[in-house]
Structure 1
Amino acid sequence: MLVENRHRIGSMIRLNTTLLLREPGPVASRLIMPLVLIGVLHPLYVAALSGAGEGAGTTQIVSGMLVMFSMFALSIVGSAILTERSWKTWDRLRATPSASWELLVGKAIPALGVLVLQQVVVLTYGYVLFGLSIESLGLLTIAVATWVVTLLCVGMMLGALARSHSELAVYYDIGGIILTTLGGALVPLSLMPGWAQTLAPLSPGYWAMDSYRSALSGDVGSLLQNSVVLLALAAVSGAIASWRITRGWGRNKLL
């Protein structure tokens, strides 16, 4: 049984990795754009947050761009499922002996590699070129792992619920901008209007930003609190995605 599981999951991983490599544009943009914006905007953030402590500007710009463009990377995760639906091949996958969790894992692993690569590249870029302060590599690893798992689960949920690629684009374009802005990725929460600060905890970006700040500063308690919230969101999103892909779609209504 374990051998059969590994074979089916491995086949799905190879297929989805091939699809990603054939269309490298979305992956490349999610890797390159945050680096460009960090390089251009870093002096502005350092000057604006000079009174908030040493390294505050660097932490803000690196964490903010990382959270923003990792949320845009939801398109990569969601499209992996939505493309199968639009090709009308998802029902064929469901008709195979593969369990729903095997299908999701096979879709998630290549996207996981992209998200982890993005996190590593952006954080290394900030550390090497701009002196990003990292108190504990272990805590930062926890923050990265928690946020990546959350993104995977939310992305799979969106891919399972969206009716078309244009609808999915609305989720990660408009939704991504709103949630990252409310989360304090572009502007520190202390500089935002009162109503925005009140709504900020509704955004996953808020908890991700606080998680990265806590990891970079070595605040274990705050990191664990943020991780619990993000993992709860991941669990709910993953459950919805798993439930939805086992139900099929009415082809006269969707896609």
Structure 2
Amino acid sequence: MHSLPVFLRLQGRAVILTGEGEAAAAKRRLLERAGARIVGEEAEAALAIVADGDEAVAARLRARGILVNATDRADLCDFTLPAIVDRDPVLIAIGTGGASAGLAKALRQRIEAMLPARLGALAAALYRARDAIRARWPDAGARRRAIDAGLGAGGVLDPLREDAADAVPSWLAGEEAGLDGGRLAAIRLASADPDELTLRAARLLGEADRIYHRGDVPRAILDRARADAARVVADHKPDRPGAGLSLWLEMAERG
């Protein structure tokens, strides 16, 4: 991972913007949407955008300890500006580390077409229901599994459903079937390359509570699992994998 993605709260905070023309105007609009207070080069600020990619300006700002984005000059950038899918309060950022703004834009357009306009309303509804969710599922593990099931593909709260926000009350009132019984899914990996994971394998890695695996399963594959999922090296499938979803990973034998 070449960069650490972060979301900065800029409301009322100073950001330096230099340069003229359409590139500067576009950056100004973006900063204004985020609520930033736009200032000139001599002002005090933690961030700066050099919209014309001027190397000398970027060098002066960096010498002052200011983090700089220089348009079309990836070599001068301390941070890059992603393509953004805005479903407030849901934000999806697509970055390429400055390699190709066109690719980031193309991916944004694809994702825009996939996501319902009311996705933000679902996030807001879940936020308002957070106390009721804790009361419904006091145990943290059971609560996470209930949320995963509701938000999963085809679930009551499937984020790709336009009416998912309206379904939160009925989801809270319903019965969560099979969330605590535990299940084990086995994945035999044909390749050590995480980019060659099947859609099913990638989805299960993102959902699993714990990963049982042989010692030869590459770390690059394990890194595709949830960060908080337990990793357990084992010689064989567990007889009692535990509550929630567990995975058994092993490499396929090569003939």
Q: Identify the structure with the greater helix proportion.
A: 1
Q: Identify the structure with the greater strand proportion.
A: 2
TM-score in terms of structure 1 length: 0.23
Structure with more contact order per residue of length (Cα contacts < 8 Å, sep ≥ 6)? 1
